[in-house]
Amino acid sequence: MAARRAGSHGQVCATDGACDTPQGDAGRGGDLGRADPMRCNDAGLSIIKQFEGCRLSSYQDSGGIWTVGYGHTGTEVVPDLTWTQDQADAQLADDIVGRAETPIDTLVKYELDDNKYSALVSFVFNIGSGNFAKSAVLTAINAGDLDDAPTHMNAWVHDRAGNVDKGLVRRRSAEIELYETPVDDDSDEMTA
């Protein structure tokens, strides 16, 4: 497997320079016949918030792209933009759907419990949907090898120079812990 590096906005890229560009909310396909599409649970949202961080004033990221909130970019993000926490939280919810939930719903062909799904939402939010589409993680899941997916998630921990990034190691660890946590039938979330 090729080494990976962190791109701007926290996504992970191949060391050859190819980074995934987040895709917009293109609809919610492949829902495996569920009445309602799955959504990231509170445990998954907590991982995303913890590792993305939130800045309420716009700033230029390491790639020079204007960014605000939890890594949100777009033409509306300009210098001196200030958001409230409510605005950042609302935009994060939209970004999670467009950048992670919709691609997962489209690409994953195997039924997942809430914790596995939510761990993947954090993972895909970070590495990008294009990288996820080509990943061994997706291949393992779609082959029904759910126990093998975390091993492949651990491959996505390298910075731009190909070195192991301690922050990505901690994020993968948190995602894998959630992925491997059984779902409590009453709450559909991580059990204590």
The CA distances from residue 113 to 34, 52, 107, 185, in Å, are 12, 24, 16, 10
First-residue to last-residue Cα distance in the chain: 35
- Calculate Rg over the CA atoms of the chain: 16
- Catalytic positions, please? 52
Contact, 12 vs 73, CB < 8 A? no
